């Protein structure tokens, strides 16, 4: 028994010594690497920290069709680069056309938080001079700018710096209701080279003005010169400038200094053209003094001067057909022309989200973004690469729009005083239509414009 105990005691001592030796050796070894963490399954898997939401505030013109386009543009923008901009959304502040321009200026002047504005092309210089916009020239390469029509670059630039890319371009021609022209035995020219003069167009307008009940108020008017219910430089300015030969003071409409209007705006030819405009309302009564909303689309006028987004208007109002739409060249006195320019993207000087706003602007004005916009509104693209891909611009009626834009499309007068000029000319145009003395309106108007724009002296030196 004692022997067994001694034997077990000896064995126990050996075990203890071996254990101690093992512990010592283990302590001398380098630490083993920790096992790799195993990913958790399901909703417990770790994810990258989400970016804080950014809401861009976009002040723009209220247009339900355009709203559809921007909803799609925003959707695609958020998918870019694997969702790089998925944390960005747009809050739209929409106002009526006549309220947009004053709200842009008052908002920026008051320091209202604003990221993006919808600016009319000829107003870009005005906004740049007033430091409403941030110049974007360094963010667009020469190659990127070359993708836009030259008119768009001119309209979107100030003193050699590019301030914002275009939504689209424009060129107004004269559209007509073919059922009405057929009924009157009229065949409008199908080639721009054969476009009517103003006198030839007047004959067609008179023949298509119809007073069914003899009450002195036409049931169908011959023409509406301009889209919407407003008047101003975009369409009425075409009529006035066409009274001069290319390069003449009448055609230029303004001196090269951008602030001289006497001797340009109020030339004898310009006054004569505006007398014709008054006679359309007061003497020949081929167009109403008080503008009628949707007059052409509702078949209350046989002709209308309008850009090619009228195609989308007609298709929306007559989805099953029912409107035989035709187009012919815009009438003129001496020189045929159409005013170019449309909306541009402008980044507000008040933005707190420049990088996100710039990214959105670059996508919206890209070929992909411009295609989305075009598919909704169907108006002349400003991107030449997109325009040249669209087969519809190779055949009538849209081929005439493209030809007009390329052959005689010119920007509206380029001056930071355009906003003031446009406001005065719009008022003059309405007064003349209502019967005011034409020469007095034009001469007084030229003086008034010069007073308002004198502050811009030296802007292009």
Per-residue model confidence as pLDDT tens digits over 71-120: 999 999 999 999 999 999 999 999 998 899 899 989 988 989 999 999 99
- pLDDT tens per residue, range 115-144: 999 999 999 999 999 999 999 999 999 999
- Whether 456 shows a pLDDT value over 90: the answer reads yes
- Output the CA torsion sign for 59, 60, 62, 63: negative
Question: For position 43, what pLDDT does the model report?
Answer: 39
Between 230 and 163, whose confidence is greater?
163
Least reliable range by pLDDT among 26-35, 326-335, 363-372, 445-454: 26-35
- pLDDT tens per residue, range 398-425: 999 999 999 999 999 999 999 999 999 9
Question: For position 342, what pLDDT does the model report?
Answer: 94
Between 228 and 210, whose confidence is greater?
210
Q: What average pLDDT does the segment 292-304 reach?
A: 98
In the chain, the percentage of residues whose pLDDT exceeds 90 is 84
Q: What average pLDDT does the segment 26-32 reach?
A: 41
Q: What is the mean pLDDT of the chain?
A: 91
Interatomic CA distance for residues 271 and 276, integer angstroms: 9
Question: For position 189, what pLDDT does the model report?
Answer: 98
Q: What average pLDDT does the segment 234-255 reach?
A: 98
Question: For position 23, what pLDDT does the model report?
Answer: 38
Q: Please, which pLDDT band fits residue 366 given cuts at 50, 70 and 90? A: very high
Question: For position 370, what pLDDT does the model report?
Answer: 99
**pTM, entire model:** 0.86
Question: For position 49, what pLDDT does the model report?
Answer: 63
Question: For position 184, what pLDDT does the model report?
Answer: 98
In terms of CATH, what superfamily is 54-166+343-378?
Periplasmic binding protein-like II (3.40.190.10)
- Whether 190 shows a pLDDT value over 80: the answer reads yes
Question: For position 171, what pLDDT does the model report?
Answer: 96
Between 40 and 354, whose confidence is greater?
354
Question: For position 1, what pLDDT does the model report?
Answer: 38
Question: For position 168, what pLDDT does the model report?
Answer: 97
Query: For the domain bounded by 173-340+415-456, which CATH number is listed?
Result: 3.40.190.10
Q: What average pLDDT does the segment 353-379 reach?
A: 97
- Whether 317 shows a pLDDT value over 50: the answer reads yes
Q: What average pLDDT does the segment 201-224 reach?
A: 97
- Whether 24 shows a pLDDT value over 90: the answer reads no
- Whether 230 shows a pLDDT value over 50: the answer reads yes
Listed by start position, the domains of the chain span 54-166+343-378, 173-340+415-456
54-166+343-378 against 173-340+415-456: fold identical: yes
Question: For position 26, what pLDDT does the model report?
Answer: 41
- Whether 27 shows a pLDDT value over 70: the answer reads no
Question: For position 316, what pLDDT does the model report?
Answer: 87
């Amino acid at each position: 028994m004692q022997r067994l105990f001694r034997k077990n005691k000896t064995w126990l001592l050996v075990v203890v010594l071996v254990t101690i030796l093992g512990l010592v050796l283990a302590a001398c070894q380098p630490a083993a690497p920790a096992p790799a963490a195993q990913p958790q399954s399901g909703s417990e898997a770790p994810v990258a920290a989400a970016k804080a939401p950014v809401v861009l505030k976009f002040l723009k013109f209220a247009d339900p069709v355009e709203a559809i386009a921007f909803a799609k543009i925003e959707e695609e923008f958020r998918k870019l680069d694997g969702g790089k901009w998925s944390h960005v959304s747009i809050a739209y502040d929409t106002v009526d056309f006549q309220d947009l321009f004053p709200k842009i200026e008052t908002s920026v002047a008051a320091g209202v938080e604003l990221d993006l504005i919808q600016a009319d092309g000829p107003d870009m210089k005005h906004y740049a001079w007033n430091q409403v916009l941030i110049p974007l020239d360094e963010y667009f390469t020469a190659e990127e700018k070359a993708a836009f029509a030259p008119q768009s670059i001119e309209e979107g630039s100030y003193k050699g710096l590019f301030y914002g890319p275009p939504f689209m371009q424009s060129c107004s021609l004269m559209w007509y209701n073919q059922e009405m022209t057929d009924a009157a035995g009229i065949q409008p020219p199908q080639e721009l080279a054969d476009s009517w003069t103003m006198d030839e167009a007047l004959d067609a307008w008179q023949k298509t003005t119809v007073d069914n009940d003899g009450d002195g108020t036409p049931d169908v008017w011959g023409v509406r010169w301009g889209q919407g219910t407003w008047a101003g430089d975009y369409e009425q300015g075409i009529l006035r400038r066409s009274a001069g030969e290319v390069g003449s003071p009448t055609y230029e409409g303004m001196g090269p200094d951008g602030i001289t209007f006497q001797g340009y705006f109020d030339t004898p030819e310009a006054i004569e053209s505006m007398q014709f405009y008054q006679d359309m309302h007061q003497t020949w009564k081929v167009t109403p003094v008080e503008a009628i909303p949707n007059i052409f689309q509702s078949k209350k006028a046989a002709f209308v001067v309008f850009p090619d987004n009228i195609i989308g208007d007609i298709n929306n109002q007559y989805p099953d057909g029912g409107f035989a739409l035709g187009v012919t060249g815009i009438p003129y006195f001496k020189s045929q022309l159409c005013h170019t320019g449309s909306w541009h993207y402008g980044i507000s000087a008040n933005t707190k989200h420049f990088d996100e706003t710039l990214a959105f602007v670059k996508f919206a004005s890209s070929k992909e973004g411009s295609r989305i916009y075009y598919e909704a509104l169907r108006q002349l693209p400003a991107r030449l690469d997109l325009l040249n891909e669209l087969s519809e611009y190779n055949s009538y009626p849209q081929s005439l729009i493209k030809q007009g834009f390329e052959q005689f499309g010119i920007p509206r007068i380029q001056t930071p005083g355009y906003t003031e000029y446009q406001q005065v000319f719009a008022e003059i145009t309405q007064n003349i239509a209502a019967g005011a003395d034409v020469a007095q309106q034009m001469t007084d108007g030229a003086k008034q414009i010069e007073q308002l724009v004198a502050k811009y002296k030296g802007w292009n030196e």
